[in-house]
Amino acid sequence: MTEKPHNDADALLHGIDKTLSDFKTKAYEAKKSYDQSEVGRAHRELSALGRFWSQFVRSCGWIYLQLIAPVTWRIYRFVRWAFARYRALWARCVYAKDAYGDPEFSKARGGIMILATIAACYLVYGAATVTVTLPWYLATVRHDEQLYLSNSQNVSSSQTEGLEIHEVYGCETLPCTEQNTVTFRVRSTWFNEIWSILHHGSLFYPGYVAAAVSPVLNRCVITSYGVRRKFLVRSWELYPDLVQVECMPTDAGEGKDSKVINNRDYR
């Protein structure tokens, strides 16, 4: 029998497959060796860090475009509109006509305009604080509430921006425990000033309000507003505001006025 000749094409393909297989094996071994080296680990960590920051920045961009930009753009447009109107008002107010009837800048008018601007900003700030506080007052006010107050303290400091602030301590029922104690803030704010003018015809003086609480146990009738939650006081210093108080020491009320206060209706 005669031997069949070799198929050269099959041999060539087999050689190519073997070469590719050897190349892939060597490439895999080289990659594995590189990954296990210090340079490979450093490259892998840097790649992961870069991927993290890329994803983080893209996520922040989404937050800005979807949540922040719609609000800030409206604020920017309003500020730009207000500033343009202020510049127009400035141009009308700070020029005076000279002897020839031509407009000439007046430093006096400019100074008056600056002072008027500061006063207007102060009034706008006050109106804004009153507008924000009014719904809070209407939702949380307690009129003619009876409880026990025992002490007051002036806590004004440099951290209170020069405002006179007093704290008044007491409890809702007797005996006083850690569960029924309450702390009020007596402070001069725009809202408290207007409230005092409307109810008493005078400005609000925190020191006089706090002085009504003598350093003994007093039975008091108060008007206050705010939420009495200890975690709000501790975490955010969100104290209820005391705006009116009438107190009588308990030792002076023996007899018909010695009834114990029950505050269940105020809770």
Beta bridge partners of 247: 220
Distance CA 205, CA 225 (A): 17
What integer pLDDT is reported at residue 98 of this predicted model? 80
What integer pLDDT is reported at residue 3 of this predicted model? 52
- For the chain, 267 residues long, give each residue's pLDDT as a single digit of tens: 445 555 666 676 767 777 777 667 767 676 767 666 777 667 767 787 788 888 899 999 999 999 999 889 999 999 999 999 999 999 999 998 888 878 898 999 999 999 999 999 999 999 999 999 999 999 999 999 999 999 899 988 755 566 889 999 999 998 888 888 999 999 999 999 999 999 999 999 999 999 999 999 999 999 999 998 888 888 888 899 999 999 999 875 554 454 555 554 444
Q: DSSP assignment, residue 7?
A: -
Give CA 81 to chain center in angstroms.
Answer: 26
What integer pLDDT is reported at residue 48 of this predicted model? 78
pTM for the model: 0.67
| Domain boundaries of the chain, sorted by first residue | 93-135, 142-266
